[in-house]
């Protein structure tokens, strides 16, 4: 089976590292992005320079119409989509739950969970046997992220439940669904939370005494997608330095 992967939010951070790694393996990669076309094109250029196949595609994965458009575009370009990484995600400024308004809560749930639902559903409708999904959850689903972003943590908890339930629905169709739960990873996301230096501040609380890199998360995602993980489904791997 020739492998075609959609990486949502592939323009930056964990998604970009994952797209590049899969592009260097034998996947044709659709690098999805929301707004950062230049960053997405840089990822594509890197993949193509290394002899791989990739293209960048703008779509808001919290929109049903955009998700259908995204899958159609990937199929038109490379043929049947066989793998999906539900990576796109957002968070907002650190805040107690009592100060979070409904608009923000809804936006976080739409961007992080509705997107995962829509992309997973579209994938399952089109996937041949032997396909796989990896959801990029977060260790926040276990900690709840009090005083920072309970909304974000709740979205990741929902993603975990979606992973477990869907994996059992499609296991007999030879489709695997797993998730990674990154801890504190060096990406732009912490600046969105209002604290660009957050990973360094929290590093002493991590058993391994350091934050993780996007590449370390990408390696785990690539393994879960691969045939080496052929008997692994409905599983979660914490990529969090021992937290």
Contacts to ligand NAP by CB under 6 A: 8-9, 11-15, 32-36, 39, 60-62, 87-90, 111, 115, 136, 138, 182, 184-185, 187-189
Cβ 59 to ligand NAP shortest distance, Å:
6
Given the complex with ligand NAP, which of 32 and 131 has the nearer CB atom? 32
Beta-strand relationship, 53-58 and 176-182: unpaired
In terms of DSSP H, where are the helices of the chain? 13-24, 37-49, 64-78, 102-109, 115-126, 140-143, 150-170, 189-192, 198-202, 214-225
Residues in contact with 161: Cβ distance below 8 Å, sequence separation at least 6, in sequence order: none
Give Cα 181 to chain centroid, integer Å.
Answer: 10
Given the complex with ligand NAP, which of 32 and 163 has the nearer CB atom? 32
Given the complex with ligand NAP, which of 101 and 188 has the nearer CB atom? 188
CA 194, 198, 204 angle in degrees (round to 5)?
160
Active site residue 152: yes
- Catalytic site residue from 33, 57, 152, 231: 152
Residues paired with residue 193 on neighbouring β-strands, in sequence order? none
Cβ 17 to ligand NAP shortest distance, Å:
8
Given the complex with ligand NAP, which of 142 and 174 has the nearer CB atom? 142
Cβ 130 to ligand NAP shortest distance, Å:
25
CB-closest chain residue to ligand NAP:
13
Task: Please name the residue that has the structure tokens 């293209």.
Answer: 55
Cβ 211 to ligand NAP shortest distance, Å:
8
Q: Which of 108, 164, 106 is nearest to 140 (CA)?
A: 108
Active-site residues, by number, are: 152
């Amino acid at each position: 089976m020739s492998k075609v992967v959609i990486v949502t939010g592939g323009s930056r951070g964990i998604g970009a590292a994952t797209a590049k790694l899969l592009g260097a393996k034998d996947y044709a990669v659709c690098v999805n992005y929301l707004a950062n076309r230049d960053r997405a094109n840089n990822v594509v250029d890197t993949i193509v320079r290394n002899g791989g196949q990739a293209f960048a595609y703008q779509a808001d994965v919290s929109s049903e119409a955009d998700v259908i458009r995204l899958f159609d575009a990937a199929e038109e370009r490379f043929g049947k989509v066989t793998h999906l990484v539900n990576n796109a995600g957002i968070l907002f400024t650190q805040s107690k739950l009592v100060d979070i308004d409904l608009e923000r809560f809804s936006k976080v749930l739409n961007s992080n969970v509705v997107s995962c639902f829509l992309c997973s559903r579209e994938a399952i409708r089109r996937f041949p046997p032997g396909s796989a999904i990896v959801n990029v959850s977060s260790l926040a689903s276990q900690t709840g992220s009090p005083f920072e972003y309970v909304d974000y943590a709740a979205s990741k908890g929902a993603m975990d439940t979606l992973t477990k339930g869907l994996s059992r629905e499609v296991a007999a169709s030879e489709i695997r669904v797993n998730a990674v739960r990154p801890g504190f990873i060096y990406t732009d996301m912490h600046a969105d939370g209002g604290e660009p230096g957050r990973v360094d501040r929290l590093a002493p609380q991590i058993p391994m005494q350091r934050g993780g890199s996007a590449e370390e998360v990408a390696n785990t995602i690539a393994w879960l997608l691969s045939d080496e993980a052929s008997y692994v489904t409905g599983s979660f791997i914490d990529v969090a330095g021992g937290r």
